[in-house]
Amino acid sequence: MTSSPIPVDLFVSKKHPGLTGADLGFADASGNVTFRLNRQSSPKNKRLFLHSTGNPLISIYRYRNGSWQGFTGEDDQKQCIFRVQRTVNKLTRTELEVFLVGENGEDSASKLKVKGCPFHKSCTIYRGNDIVAQTSLMYKLRQLYAKRNKFRLTIFPGSDDHALVAALVVIFLD
């Protein structure tokens, strides 16, 4: 997806049409699934982030020390594009620090922060002081409690890589 002059909403749920098992889907306002997360059964620490066409975009690996790495394509033999480290992990607050990896394999000066509460499916992704994206539960009129099985991801203008933003949300919730 290219950068949009207006915010883009993606609706995140396991119940979008065409999803199987434990897949998590990211659908646009028309209900078309644009991204899909496939939880690999082997190895268990791998998540495969797919385009709507089924092409692998990002392979996400979780390591025992609580860090994550994302690689282009289907396996970790490709180019590393980001590293994630959990900096705060409390009951009501989690924070992640995201280091984008440059073409030479070294961390670039550009980094993102993810802050929020996974239980409420609520997080904000920052680049410096700017908000890149934000998640929120889907509230309805006359509803006291929002259901936690579907939520909204709003990606604000200036973010070129919607797949990266969606992958960071998946890491935050895991």
pLDDT at 56: 93
pTM of structure: 0.87
Structure confidence at residue 145 as a pLDDT band (50, 70, 90): low
Q: How confident is the model at residue 166 (pLDDT cuts 50, 70, 90)?
A: very high
What whole-number distance in Å separates Cα of residue 98 and Cα of residue 79?
Answer: 16
Mean pLDDT, the chain, as a whole number? 86
pLDDT one-digit tens code per residue, 63-96: 888 899 999 988 766 789 999 999 998 888 999 9
- What sign has the CA pseudo-torsion 91, 15, 163, 139? negative
Residue 146 has pLDDT above 60, yes or no: no
Domain boundaries, given as residue ranges, for the chain = 8-173
d(CA 134, CA 112): 13
CATH H superfamily, domain 8-173:
LURP1-related (2.40.160.200)
The backbone torsions φ and ψ at residue 128, rounded to the nearest 5 degrees and listed phi first, read: 65, -125
